[in-house]
A = this chain, B = another copy of it.
């Protein structure tokens, strides 16, 4: 099992993701919001890059969701707060979604063999799904405006922790080099694993201390950070297929 971690969407090169199992992480908040929406009954999420793309795709049964600069886009039905995506609003619906970093990371993974969507909420389920797919695993931390974001790094560490546990138990299907071959984690991944293990018992504190956690708290989204800091509460491992994300 080979695991590589990319520190921000800007560092991700489409070629490096080709034929890989790619896990896209944007803990605060895009991938946490997508997972919450699907858990609350949303049928499909269509990630798109631009606001105009989103608007041009909207039919009468679709909701528009997303943000620019952490705020809801004028004319959109929903912002990027996971707590907005309630069962009442999203059950059975398709959400067309555009966010600053998360959607870009998904676009960059267009040539991957598989694209999984990960966050703290579904980390265990996401790791199990990745372990069942063949090929090297690349974890893409979306980051914020092309800069590394701690919460994504800690989530990468959490996923690696889960993957190494599965590897030790012989449960990695993609381990073409045999069950006894050592797992390879690149240096950046090792650093994220160590960082995660250092704060695993106080993840919420860590998320409230990082740049995005502070920014979101300041503009009234403290509860979003609390929600996104929960681990393993959703048993879903959604994949992007033909540009659509389904549970």
Contacts and interface: CB of A to CB of B under 8 A. Distances in A.
A194 interface: yes
Interface residues of A, number: 23
A210 B195 contact: no
Contacts of A148: 7, 187-188, 191
A209 B187 CA distance: 9
Given A7-B7, A148-B7, A210 B190 contact: yes
Contacts of A211: 186-187
Nearest to A199: B194
A194 B210 contact: no
A188 B7 CA distance: 9
Contacts of A196: 194
Contacts of A187: 147-150, 153, 210-211
Nearest to A212: B187
Interface in A148-201: 148-150, 153-154, 186-188, 190-192, 194-199
Contacts of A7: 7, 148, 188
A73 interface: no
A16 to B, nearest CB: 12
A199 B197 CA distance: 10
A195 B200 CA distance: 12
A206 interface: yes
Nearest to A189: B150
Contacts of A194: 194-196, 198-199, 206
Nearest to A153: B191
A209 to B, nearest CB: 7
B191 A150 contact: yes
A199 B196 CA distance: 12
Nearest to A188: B148
A188 to B, nearest CB: 5
Contacts of A198: 194-195, 197-198
Contacts of A154: 191
